[in-house]
Structure 1
Amino acid sequence: MLASVRPADVVLEIDLSAIQANFQTISALVGPKVKVAAVVKSDAYGLGLVKIAGALIEAGCDLLLVGNLHEALLLRSSHIGADVAVFCDEFARYGGHYRSNGLIPVVNNCVELDAISGAPEPQTYFLNVETGFSRLGLAFGDVRREYLSGIFKRRPPSVVLSHLACSERAGDAMNLLQRDRFQATSDLLKPALRSLAASAGVWLGEQYHFDMVRVGSALYGLNNAGIRPNPLKPVASLKAKTLEVRKVARGEAVGYGATFRTARASRIAIVAIGYRNGLPWACANKISVRFAGYSAPLIGRVSMEYITIDVTDVPETLCGPGREAELLGDVFTVDDLAATAGVHPQEVLTRLGVGCARRYLDRSPASAGFPGNLTDAGHEHDPRAIPG
């Protein structure tokens, strides 16, 4: 219980209505004939599985994809009313849990397919096929052999899916190669639904949409395909408290390695966030934060729990102890931070989600009138969540 009452010096604010708007944007782009499934694996990219799932269901989503059985059972125990499919299925080992909880395994190899075939009762499942990613999924030779054995006639998959390796680069020849391979496999199996595109693949056009798209990063405001103007709403904002402001003389070193020296007499704010919270170490001396709209540069290295900000040009009343520094928001997003630090935006988001307290915002009209439009995540599922 101690974790639930720790001071919230670092807060990751998550806009639920922005996630819903991004779901609706993708739905409008692919059109009514294409199903939009939501990928909420890895604790909804670090933003809180149950809370995000609930917001997506309110937006009209009826299929959630999780990373493992633990996440699937957490959704079921939270009475989430949607179909739930599990990427890393282990049906051969935990088939009873799938059947008793109405879960859908994503079959990735012949062992799991044999377990589906040998199950005493018919089992709904998705089939993952390998088309050029070289990760999980049955290769075409495996699919053909199993097809000839009659497995797919006895127990057909409800969805055949694959994953694009280079969808963030629209002109990459791998996209067309994988699409053609996927088309050949799905022509053989003739499933009820076919799914090739994830978030970035949605922007490749309707020839990649097939019957269903699986959207993860785009829901959370990450524009991996670099579409301009950006049609996605930013979801996450990041704020951290100022602990102390100190005066530093001209020419003094700041932080580990003395990577920064003051060029003038300066005021330096010590802000309570570091790489333990998920802030990339590589953004040292590269980004700025905002105090009530004033921009101030991060100087020196990122420490485990602190950063140092040059607030010489910020009014003292706006950046003193207890004041919040905004690191991420509408002006500087997760995509911007990732590009500056040279890391992947999904990595930034999931690490921040693990390392920070979460506060949920809901700016939808239905939430109007509630104080601050803040929602508590529920300590029984997430001890890092803080009340509004």
Structure 2
Amino acid sequence: MDCDYFDAHRCRSCALMGVPYAVQLADKQQHCAAVLSDSAPEATWLPAFVSPESGFRNKAKLVVGGDPGAVTLGILDPAGRGVDLRDCGLYEPGLHELIPRLAGLVDDLQLEPYDVPARRGELKHLIVTHSPTGAVMLRFVLRSQKQLALLRSRLAVIRERLPEAVVVSVNLQPDHKAVLEGDTELVLTEADVLPMQVNEITLSLRPNSFFQTNTHVAAGLYRQAQQWISTARPTKVLDLYCGVGGFALHSAVLGDSGPAQVIGIEVSPEAVTSADHTAGELRATHPGLAEISFRVGDVTDVAGLRSLGPGALVVVNPPRRGIGPELAHWLERSGAEHVVYSSCNVDSLSRDLARLPSYAASQARLFDMFPQTEHHEVMVLLDRTSTEEHCVTRDLDQ
């Protein structure tokens, strides 16, 4: 992949730009295998799951700079001034085509970009999520409600200029700090859910819901988890850090080769609402759907739950810091026969595997979620090799 912005030193975010893609993949695989050599010495490494080199991002997180009528969409330079990257080649084709039109719309609406050095202005970011169907979720991140009435009054214009935008919302982020979005979300459209088709499942994304930035690779990640779960044939699947329910929902549609019960736990109420919405739609189309439920809660709350038993499988997909000692200790005592661990940080994954001596990694796979960078996603299948005394305080089903 070539990039004029990179060559001109306007953006250097893609640190591996210019490195042949086959070399990128080989280096990532070698690095991950080396880091896990002690904690997963017997794991069989499956072939890396490959991404398109360009045009793979389903989400654009655009810093708005410049002046009213002449905005920049992209990033900030070291001085805090806007750098326009509207022709970035990382975005999916439909999203790539939309961004220049979005810049023109912001100019025509005379929205006031936030000036970071001067600490004045209103529009901080535009967050755009693109679905495989071509539908879009558009979020305006504002400093205050000063231009909220303008956006409400121009909603028809926004929809006319950007007919792909099925969900339009305003996020309020009043603080002067490097935080992408705030806690308050105001949906302007009747629709508040973006359908995101992944494999045979259409996930439901609400404005604050997290979803992997590479739809193609996310689909491969879920298919691999399905294969491992189908082979393990667990009676129950517990999906921790479940987000919008990707792993849980892909487990629930397996039918006779899948679990009878699936439970997802996630700290974000928005994500749980999204997962519940998808589960409700699947019940109408999949008569063999497993019993599935989602709960709002911190995953460390499972530390007081009773043993899952030998027929259970646990999926964990934590943030970069990993699952940590408390949750690892609970897994050791849980009785779960298998664990599927999806990680975006091989170093924290290695630390966590060392905390799980009752399990051994039998298979591992690299998923290249972020081409042109050193970031990676690694998923491992853990099989229980010994038993620990199980916690018996209360039942997961309560």
Question: Would the TM-score normalized by the shorter structure come out above 0.5?
Answer: no
**Alignment TM-score, normalising by the size of structure 2:** 0.29
Structure with bigger helix share is 1
| Larger RCO (alpha carbons 8 Å, 6+ apart) | 1
Larger radius of gyration: 1
**Alignment TM-score, normalising by the size of structure 1:** 0.30
